[in-house]
Structure 1
Amino acid sequence: MKAFLSFSCLILLVTACNTPEKKAESMSADSSKSMMESSSEEVKYPYTLDKPYKNWQPGDKKNTQVVLNMLKAWETKNAAECASYFGDSVDLSVDYFHKVIQHDSLTAMLEHSWEDYATVNLKMDDWESVISEDKKDEWVTVWYKQTWTDKKGKTDSMAVVNDAKIVNGKIVVFDEKVRHFPAPKK
């Protein structure tokens, strides 16, 4: 009888020790399932889009390389190389400027953009390449700080976000948003 009682206690002990792991696994699976179900639920946003959301996915890293190479070429005053990363025309929006530029006018415009600068330095904060679920739209976004010294010796800087639409490996839309840093208090 003692042996039977000892054996029963051992079985209860083993069962009790194994149950929390199985319960934890079960709870983990339940919470994962719950998270997946909640992320696929319909969400009612307070705003609507003119076009449906494109369900963006991670894009091709080569597109990021195109944009970064273009920016490096501009930073180092290589207008011809910089222009080589753009398509036959580019819808260009930068601080206080918006125009569709034909490729044959791009190099001269890029050279003109350096007129007031002695030096420019770009310090990258982050970048991301995305593609729409239907594979029709590819964009690269870069975040960086641009610091420059003008030809009079004054140094300034601003935060910049660029969105570049890529078609067949070329930039066809370049949209720049900037935040000018406030002047230092005197």
Structure 2
Amino acid sequence: MNGIRCLQLFPLLWLQRYSANHSSSFSPTQSLLTCEAINKPSIQSKSVSSLGSPSISSGNLNMENIPEVDIDGRGKFKYIQIKVKDDSGNEKLIIRGHRDAGYHADILERVQSHYPNLRCDCPGGGRILHEPDKKKILVYGYSMGFGRGDHEVTVAILKKHYPDYNIEWNNEGY
């Protein structure tokens, strides 16, 4: 199965879960800021519909086909910034946030499984409070595994996709 090996200090529970689900392991004392793809072919048939993003095959994959924003329609949830890069050096910063993600790394792993031919790096994350009835989004907090995302950049990207929303950010909370 495709995945991401994140050499970061995650809570012990996450390390135990990661080790149990992946054939390779790592020591939490290794260099702590590198993520690398673990490419194994079995996941390539997995459906993209669980992310709400369009299905993209290897044949028509380019940066323009990758949605810049994919967040849940309401609620409070974890989010991450992901820098997606292809073999030609083209790159794009995308935002992903989902309520069903137990850990920020789950979001990164999910995205990498849908785009196995691209390099995905996470510069940071946090949380989003999305209130569609009030047309309001708050970006805040940090990821214990990846660190604090640049919320100002996240807000700028979200404003392009939610132009009639009041979108704010702060560095408070977890």
TM-score range, shorter chain: under 0.3
- The structure with the largest helix share of the pair is 1
- The structure with the largest strand share of the pair is 1
Greater C-alpha Rg: 1
When the two structures are superposed, what TM-score results if normalisation uses the length of structure 1? 0.22
